Amino acid sequence: MDKRVFIVHGWDGYPDEGWFPWLKQELEQRGFQVHVPAMPNPAKPKISAWVTHLAKNVGDVDEHTFFIGHSIGCQTILRYMESLSSNKKVGGVVFVAPFFTLNLKTNEEKSIALPWLETPMDFEKIKQHATRFFALFSDNDNDVPIENKTLFEQRLGAVTAVEHNKGHFSGSDGVKDLSSVLNIILSL
């Protein structure tokens, strides 16, 4: 059975941003099928549109299906997993710059982000669909407060790590490869 990886970009992101092309190539060289879907209206992401789009791209899941999310892509994966039927399990999930709280600066940011922050999630249901969650943070991320590290540990039992000086792990932060994420996927 082929291992499939779905990389879900973040708010204002796109499939060829930052470290996504590098990771896709590295995983494909190791025999993975890698999909990096262009999410709908990335400038104004909406929960229902993103979860529906991800579900259409993924199709059926099994223990050979893995997810990697960046920022709001992590929220999308969580909400997608919450929607799975009870007998479905995935191989694992890696979150990069994930959040349950955000530093929001403008009213526009608040109007886009608040549904993602305020719409509740059933963490027990999400945990039924995967036993391995990893969350990666940066010590100088201006968008995602470091308190999210503890929240991911508490809510999902995630194994967490903090990298130095990676900002929000975006292409605009100069992050073009992310060997820690590659190593996590290869270890699953």
β-partners of residue 67 are 6, 93
Predicted confidence (pLDDT) per residue in 54-72, tens digit:
999 999 999 999 999 999 9
Q: Are 77 and 114 in contact (CB under 8 A)?
A: no
pLDDT value for 163? 97
The boundaries of the domain holding residue 20 are 4-187
pLDDT value for 86? 87
Q: How many domains does the chain have?
A: 1
Element (H, E) at 58: helix 47-58
List the chain residues with pLDDT less than 70.
Answer: 1
pLDDT value for 1? 65
Predicted confidence (pLDDT) per residue in 146-180, tens digit:
999 999 999 999 999 999 999 999 999 999 999 99
pLDDT value for 72? 98
Helices 20-29 and 179-187 pack at an angle, to 10 degrees, of 40
**How remote is the C-alpha of 95 from its chain's centroid?**
4
Q: What is the CATH number of the domain that holds 140?
A: 3.40.50.1820
pTM of the model: 0.97
